[in-house]
Amino acid sequence: MTSNRIARLLGSTLAAALCCAATLTAAPASAEIIIAPMAPPPPRVEVVPAPRAGYVWDQGHWHWRYGRYVWAPGYWRPVRVGYHWVPGHWVQRGPNWRWVEGHWA
């Protein structure tokens, strides 16, 4: 193999590796696509505790698990300075419902 051909091969291999690494780091490790065939029940009334310095309350929500909805209670999340918490929520997509994970924005 000529040195020019080796350089092109190494360059394309490096480009592919960087592309894969960027793809893997773009999504959070816990990212999971959750699709339910029916709308979630109305949210439960949840008593929100008094504010806590350095934390934000992540409200409870219905979670689709094993073919049915189960309630996931709210909990405290450590604050990320410069961001605000966007709670997870259900979005209808055709006849199904898709869970949009909560995230910092």
**How many independent structural domains does the chain possess?**
2
Q: What is the pLDDT at residue 32? A: 84
Closest CA to 98 of 83, 88, 87, 85: 88
Query: 26 and 38 share a domain?
Result: no
Same domain, residue pair 55 and 92: yes
**81 and 38 in one domain?**
yes
- Assess whether 3 and 19 both reside in one domain: yes
Q: How far apart are CA 100 and CA 102, in angstroms?
A: 7
Instruction: Name the residue range of residue 23's domain.
Output: 1-30
Are residue 11 and residue 50 in the same domain, yes or no? no
Do 2 and 53 lie in one domain? The reply is no
Give me the tens of pLDDT residue by residue for the chain, a chain 105 residues long. 566 666 565 455 544 443 443 333 334 456 789 999 999 999 999 999 999 999 999 999 999 999 999 999 999 999 999 999 999 999 999 999 999 999 999
- As a whole number of angstroms, the distance between CA 101 and CA 42 comes to 18
| 2 shares its domain with 13 | yes
Q: What are residue 69's DSSP bridge partners?
A: 64
